[in-house]
Amino acid sequence: MIAMVAGRQLTPPHPKALLYTRKDAGRGHFSIGAGLPTALSAPATTEIPMKTRLNRRRLLCWLSAASGLSLASRSGATEGPDRDLLGEAEHKLVYQFNKDDPVYMEHVLFSVGAMLRKHGDNIHLVVTAIGPGIHILARRPLRPIPELIRQRVASLAAYGVSFHACGNTMKALNWNAADMLDFAQVVDVGADDLMRLQEQGYSYISW
C-alpha cells in the first residue's frame, strides 16, 4: 500500500528494516538502518510477543502519518501519533535532548529505544530537542550529525516516538518549519514543552 503525504510518496516500513546490536556490555552500537535495541533477553511471558506489538504499532503509526499526521507537524501541531488508533498509553516519558555530542546522542537514543522495546504499545515517548540538540531534527544541520544517528532518529519516529523541536532555538538559527524533518513537531518554547508534558503526567529524563 502506497500513500501520499504532502506530495511525497510514503511507503510502510519493512518489519526487518531496523536492526540493533549490542557490541559490549558497556554501551550500545547501532548497525546500518538501526532503530530499536535488542537489549537483554526478556523472561518468558504469556503476553503478545513484543515483535508483534511493535510491528502493529509501527503499522498504525504509518497509517496515522498517511492520514495527515505529517501535514499537521508541518503546521506546528504538537500532538504525537493518533492515540485513537494506538490507544491510551499507560506510561508517558519525555526526554530533554540538548546536546550535539555523538556519545550523548547515542546514549539518549539507546534509552528511548530500550523503553519502547520494553513497553511496546503501552508507552508514549517524546524527545524535546532544544539548544544544540535541535540539529538532529534539521534537514540540513549546521553541526555535524552522524548519519547513523539521523537514521536512528527517523527509525524511532517511524515506531511512534514524538520528536519536538524548540521554536525559540529555531528562531535563533533563522529556521522555520520547512527547515525541519517531516516528523518534527515544532513547539513554541522547548522548556515550556517539557513543563507542560510533565503537568500532563509525563515523567522527565535529562542527561
Nearest Cα neighbor of 133 from 156, 165, 161 is 165
Fold of 3-206: Hypothetical Protein Ychn; Chain: A, (3.40.1260)
Percent of residues, the chain, with pLDDT higher than 70: 58
* pLDDT score, position 79: 45
pLDDT at 97 over 60: yes
Helix residue ranges, H only, the chain: 50-64, 70-74, 83-86, 102-119, 147-158, 167-172, 190-199
Nearest Cα neighbor of 38 from 26, 23, 60, 56 is 23
pTM summary value: 0.63
pLDDT at 69 over 60: no
* pLDDT score, position 87: 65
Cα-based distances in Å from 164 to 7, 40, 179: 23, 29, 14
pLDDT at 63 over 60: no
* pLDDT score, position 38: 37
Flag the least confident range among 34-43, 80-89, 186-195.
Answer: 34-43
Rounded to 5°, the CA angle 195-88-51 comes to 110
* pLDDT score, position 207: 85
Name which residue leads in pLDDT, 87 or 162. 162
For the chain, give every domain's residue range.
Answer: 3-206
What pLDDT, in 10s, does the model give residues 173-194? 999 999 999 999 999 999 999 9
Written as nine digits, the cell of 81 is 501519533
- Banded pLDDT at 74 (limits 50, 70, 90): very low
* pLDDT score, position 145: 94
Query: CB of 170 within 8 A of CB of 180?
Result: yes
Written as nine digits, the cell of 149 is 544517528
For residues 12-26, give the mean pLDDT: 40
* pLDDT score, position 115: 98
For residues 96-124, give the mean pLDDT: 96
- Banded pLDDT at 88 (limits 50, 70, 90): confident
* pLDDT score, position 109: 97
Mean pLDDT of the chain: 74
